[in-house]
Amino acid sequence: MAVKNILFDLDGTLLDTNELIIQSFQHTYKTHLKKNVPKEEIIKSFGEILKVTLDREFKDLSDIALKTYRDFQFSRFDDYITMHKGVKEGLKRLYDEGYRLGVVTSRLNDSAKRGLDLFHLTNYFDAIIGADDTNIHKPDPTPALLALEKMGAKVEESMIVGDSPYDILCGKNAGMISVAVGWSALPREMYIKHNPDYVVESMEELIEIIKSL
């Protein structure tokens, strides 16, 4: 059955928030644990719900670390975010050709919308499901299924595109096609081992695959 609906992860897939996340974590580690954590270690947690990472790393200091992280990120949000190459052109083409698009992200809703608004992407999407919408997060299928429900879309006509194992497993658990983006900051083996249906190196390649299905 042809693909009619495409769900996108946000961080690392549509928007390059890598530096924003790395700087926020490094500031938080230094503030509360007096640790200088290299970016390679921080990147390994990309795609995981923030509270889960902070609970594991900061233990009893998790709540105050969360505030520190979010305050730092809020104040530097616009300075550190860029858009991945070809994203806007690709989204516009898919939208203009009648595909229905959604965002499924582990980022808080206001923050996700801020990032999309920054690059004038919001209007391309029929559904934006963020961390505020459910207590059950990727790799569970719930966020993706919520997005499809909001879009009035069928699983068998849908695809999810992301940069982390959480996205790939979310898609597989939901029963939809999964696509990994080759521009992920994560080591390639971290998502390849979960056998995404496709790996793409550009939005143009993604669109070619969508049209071939």
Partnered with residue 129 across adjacent β-strands are: 104
How confident is the model over 32-64, as pLDDT tens digits?
999 999 999 999 999 898 999 999 999 999 999
- Check residue 11 and report its DSSP letter: B
pLDDT at residue 4 in the model: 97
pLDDT band at 95 (very low <50, low <70, confident <90, very high): very high
The phi and psi torsions of 4 (rounded to 5 degrees) equal -120, -15
Catalytic residue status for 9: yes
Percent over 90 (pLDDT), the chain:
98
From the list 9, 11, 133, 167, the catalytic residue is 9
Nearest Cα residue to 32 out of 68, 79, 5, 3 = 68
Length of the chain: 213
pLDDT band at 1 (very low <50, low <70, confident <90, very high): low
Is the model's pLDDT at 147 over the cut of 80? yes
Contact (Cβ atoms closer than 8 angstroms) between residue 115 and residue 94: no
Contact (Cβ atoms closer than 8 angstroms) between residue 47 and residue 110: no
Percent over 70 (pLDDT), the chain:
100
Residue 150 tokens read as 């909001």
How confident is the model over 57-83, as pLDDT tens digits?
999 999 999 999 999 999 999 999 999
What residues have CB less than 8 Å from 64, skipping those under 6 apart?
A: 32
Half-sphere exposure of 39 (CA within 13 A, CB side): 10
How confident is the model over 102-117, as pLDDT tens digits?
999 999 999 999 999 9
For residue 134, the tally of other CB atoms under 10 A from its CB is 13
Contact (Cβ atoms closer than 8 angstroms) between residue 137 and residue 147: no
CATH no., domain 5-15+82-212: 3.40.50.1000
Nearest Cα residue to 168 out of 153, 150, 186 = 186
What residues have CB less than 8 Å from 55, skipping those under 6 apart?
A: 62
